[in-house]
Amino acid sequence: MNFASDNWSGAHPLISQRLLEISSGFSAPYGTSEFDHKIEQRFNDLFEREVAVYFVSTGTAANSLALAAVNRPGGVSFCHREAHMLEDECGAPEFFTHGARLAPVDGENGKIDPQHLNDEIERFPPGFVHAGQPMAISITQATEIGTLYQPSEINAISHIAKKHHLPLHMDGARFANAVAALNQSPAEITWKKGVDIISFGATKNGCWCAEALIFMNPNMSKDLPFIRKRAAQLLSKSRFIAAQFDAYLQDNLWLDMAEHSNKMAMNLQNSISNSKNARLAWRTETNEVFCILDKKYAETLQKKGATFYTWNLPRSKLGLLCPNETLIRLVTSFATEPNEIAKFIDLLS
């Protein structure tokens, strides 16, 4: 019963097998082989337009280099107060941009509130050097707390981005879960709604190390080859990342895995909402279930073999807990088996 995180899972057998197949023979390094290019081009089909694709080794690298690509002196990027960039990357986005700031924006359910966003941006009058200058907006899809931006919500944010001439970045560490849950095409929920740059994560969803930084408009990334190399993110035997994406995107494997993962979470959620021993903190829409239970009860579950983390309550949810209670996070993945869910539900009741 491992619900600690989707990055505790390993690699899907089809991913591993593709890696194995690609491991013999010689191939041009540093992303210059035909194979690398072929896989990069598959993202054109996926996104229904010509995009620029850069493989990197971590999600933090993808997010940080996205900002580096649009960096400005005294730059300020706006993201949700609970964004991974702000909370979990040890200052990497600021480091790779030489100090460009991340400004937290509030919003319910892990999502930026458009009005707050606009207010925060307008704290920076154009040309007023003391405050700095806005440089980007970043949203996380699916969010850190398992919720989703609906396409119309992305639209509302990109409207503000355009008004202020700011690029819109999407941290898609769990992009597959979002696409699967929304049941819309990648194009439909990204550039058609105004998203400019995507951190397209595959590691959490069945790969072992495969992240792609994707620019909807290739011109926006003209310095990225140098930015990536200087960031120590140009992998020597890059074909091994390409191979993972090859298998990942083939025959819908990526969405099959995400759907499975989401479904497992929904099962968990349904059971918890019927449980007397726990209650949902909020409803998940993807593969992360957050629920509240008695602290001692949580420890009992852990002793009985359930692996999960207790979690900081988002600031917007303060007041949700009683003193004896704790918030826990349960994450499912492609590798979660139905019998683990069943076992956990048994424990809960």
Query: Among residues 99 and 338, whose Cβ is nearest to its own copies?
Result: 99
- Between 226 and 270, CB nearer to its own copies: 226
Among residues 26 and 276, whose Cβ is nearest to its own copies? 26
Cα separation of 333 and 6, whole Å?
A: 5
Residue in 34, 45, 232, 296 binding its own copies, rule: CB under 8 A: 232
**DSSP bridge pairs for 140:** 171
Q: What is the DSSP letter of 283?
A: -
The reply on whether position 208 binds its own copies by CB under 8 A is yes
**CA angle (66, 70, 76) in 5-degree steps:** 95
Determine, following the binding rule CB under 8 A, whether residue 218 of this chain makes contact with its own copies.
no
Any residues with CB less than 8 A from the CB of 281 and at least 6 apart, and which?
290, 291, 292, 317, 320, 327
Q: What element of type H or E holds 137? A: strand 133-140
Residue 45 vs 337, nearer CB to its own copies: 337
Pick the closer one to its own copies by CB: 7 or 300.
7
Angstrom distances, CA of residue 14 to CA of 3, 20, 128: 23, 10, 54
Q: Sheet containing 309-310: which strands, arranged edge to edge?
A: 278-280, 288-294, 325-331, 309-310
**Smallest distance, Å, CB 312 to its own copies?**
7
C-alpha separations of 54 from 12, 21, 203, 285 in Å? 22, 22, 15, 29
Which residues inside 128-147 make contact with its own copies, applying CB under 8 A? 129-133
- Tell me which residues in 281-320 interact with its own copies (CB under 8 A): 307, 312
The one among 40, 89, 113, 196 contacting its own copies by CB under 8 A: 89
To its own copies, the closest distance from the beta carbon of 50 in angstroms equals 19
Residue 236 CB, nearest approach to its own copies (Å) = 4
Matching residue, tokens 């355009």: 162
Pattern 32-71, its own copies, x by CB under 8 A: ------------------------xxxxxx--x---x---
Structure tokens at 141: 């899809």
126, burial (CB in 10 Å: exposed 0-12, middle 13-18, buried 19+)? exposed
Nearer to its own copies, 72 or 295 (CB): 72
Window 165-204: contact mask with its own copies (x via CB under 8 A):
--------------------------------------xx
Q: Quick one: 26 or 303, whose CB is closer to its own copies?
A: 26
